[in-house]
Structure 1
Amino acid sequence: MNVFVFDIETVPDVEAGRAIHELDGLSDADTAEAMFHLNRQKSNSDFLPHYLHKIVAISAVFRANDKVQVWSLGEETSSEKEVVQRFFDGIDKFSPVLVSWNGTGFDLPVLNYRALKYGVGAAQYWDTGEYDSGFKWNNYISRYHARHTDVMDLLAMYTGRANAPLDHIASMLGFPGKMGMSGAKVWDAYQAGDIAGIRQYCESDVLNTYLVYLKFELMRGHLDQPSFDRECQLLKQLLAQSEQSHLQQFLSLWNNA
């Protein structure tokens, strides 16, 4: 089975913000601050509506054919449309089990709006049995189907009162948790041109998600202890062979946790 664990990082969609709130003439930074201010007035939160998020990174762990990979889709210079297209192309090609932490509540709705904006095709993703009859009973869209496993949503029993931050759960389980950046700092990093740092941060989050998922698979009997240990060792081998410093750091923190 192909397993595709994913995570996204976003910044304010200042282009849409200008059009919706009539903010012509403001810089990107001032437009974003105006968007935050207007949202605080409405909901007492800086967290913008899903449709006002622009994707700047999608990172993945892909487990298939006795191999595991971790990377960020596209290049640092890739457009948002290209990165979103790559995500849905991967679903069309491999029909993987999608795995996320709060993907139902955040990542996938944002991806849906961005795909809508750019006219990105995603036939496999939206199929509920029209093209493949098997998708009628197990598809990406229905909340209680397994083709997308939102680990947080499942552990919380589909109630927001029991939701938990990924880094807290990862740390509780002896995994590295947050490394360096946080989601609140992504906008600052983006304005500074640090796309590489954002992608590295996103990759650390998706690694934590994958490890929590493995622990979840062990708990619900889809893996036994020897199989879980083999999966962890396979990932450690990948990280040990990597020349990227953030992946080496992740491995070091994991070994010392």
Structure 2
Amino acid sequence: MLQKIPLDSILFLDTETVPQAQTFDELSEEARELYALKTRFQRKDDISAEEYYERAGILAEFGKIICISVGFFNLSGSQRQFRLRSFTGEEKSLLIQFSELLEDHFGRPRHLLCAHNGKEFDFPYLARRMLIHGLRLPAKLNLFGKKPWEIPHLDTMELWKFGEFRHYTSLRLMAHVLGIPSPKEDLDGSQIRSVYYEDGDIERIQKYCELDVLTTAQVFLRLRGDDLLDENQVTRVS
């Protein structure tokens, strides 16, 4: 049961991704051909691979991670505190920093990772990008040989499915129906590419990513039947 999981054993996370290159033409000829093959069943007949390239960020083979935000509970004081931290910059560097955080502070058997739609997106994307950069997978992302009940991952979207097979609910919708107050967002996922490549505003992307982490934690609290965090319980750490 969720209530039996210690809150301070969970690392909540979210990633923001973009296409590896700003435009389709910047890819090598081979990469353009491979992207067309990879996406041929997702694209409608009248949509070219070039037109579909704006969605390349969701594919680990053709995208890259530009921000990883994490959040964790500190229960040592008189009241619980939720700490937020983000990694940005060159992709290999931020992946190394994130991996070190996992190994140094969230690598014990009791530790779990939690994300919204993390099992379908964030967790495998992180693992694939680490391998592409020649990095060793941290234990929490290395699932080879593990039985389903041994996988240290929680997914708020999966928890909301209650066993229903084809059910997708966005984080924003879950927050809405569960009565979780959300600050006004000046960004949505479809704008990340343009904000990164055209505006160069990584700070704006980081704030958006951290808000998703906080919202995921709030959703998890509601699913447990716990009180929500208030703004005085949330802090950013470097």
Cα RMSD of the aligned pairs, angstroms, is: 3.1
Instruction: Tell me the equivalent position of 2:191.
Output: 185
Question: Which consecutive unaligned segments of at least 5 residues does structure 1 have?
Answer: 24-34, 130-135, 219-227, 243-257
Q: Tell whether the 8 Å contact from 1:4 to 1:60 is kept in structure 2 after alignment.
A: yes
Aligned match of 1:44: 43
- 1:72 partnered with 2:67: no
Alpha-carbon separation, structure 2, partners of 1:109 and 1:172: 28
Identity of aligned residues (%): 25
List structure 1 segments (4+ residues) > 4 angstroms apart after TM superposition: 37-41, 126-129, 141-146
Q: Which moved more, 1:186-195 or 1:115-124?
A: 115-124
Summarize the Cα distance change of 1:119–1:41 in structure 2 as closer, same or farther, 3 Å threshold.
closer
Q: 1:3 aligns with which of 5, 10, 13?
A: 10
Q: How far apart are residue 112 of structure 1 and its match?
A: 1.1
Determine if contact 2:60/2:129 at 8 Å carries over to the other structure: no
Amino acid of the residue matched to residue 79 of structure 1? E
Is the contact between residue 5 and residue 206 of structure 1 (CA under 8 Å) also seen in structure 2? Answer: yes
State the one-letter code of the partner of 2:137: A
1:170 equivalent to 2:175? Answer yes
Q: Hey, what does 1:120 align to over in structure 2? A: 135
**In 1: Cα distance, 2:183 partner to 2:99 partner:** 27
Q: Which has the higher contact order (CA 8 A, sep 6+)?
A: 2
Q: Could you say which residue in structure 1 is the equivalent of 2:116?
A: 101
2:224 is equivalent to residue 217 of structure 1: yes
Given the alignment of the two structures, is residue 195 of structure 1 paired with residue 210 of structure 2, yes or no?
no
Deviation sequence 1:142-195 (CA, Å, 0-9, x none): 544462111112321455521201101111112217711111000000012011
- Is 1:54 equivalent to 2:38 in the alignment? no
Q: Quick check: 1:99–1:149 contact (8 Å CA) kept in 2?
A: yes
Residue 101 of structure 2 aligns with which residue?
90
Q: In structure 2, do the counterparts of structure 1 residues 41 and 154 end up closer, same or farther at CA, with 3 Å as the change threshold?
A: same
Contact 1:92–1:122 at 8 Å: present in 2 too? no
Offset at residue 119 of structure 1 (A): 1.8
Q: Which residue of 2 aligns with 1:152?
A: 157
- Superposed displacement of residue 124, structure 1: 2.0
User: In 2, Cα distance between the equivalents of 1:86 and 1:148?
Assistant: 20
Equivalent residue number for residue 161 of structure 1? 166
* Pairwise CA distance, 1:120: 1.9
Q: 1:168 to 1:85 in 2, by over 3 A?
A: same
**What's the CA shift for 1:217?**
2.1
Is the 8 Å Cα contact of residues 60 and 125 (structure 2) preserved in structure 1? yes
1:106-138, CA deviations, whole angstroms, 9 ceiling, x for partnerless residues? Answer: 111111111011122234225569xxxxxx8xx
Q: How many Å separate the matches in 2 of 1:21 and 1:178?
A: 42
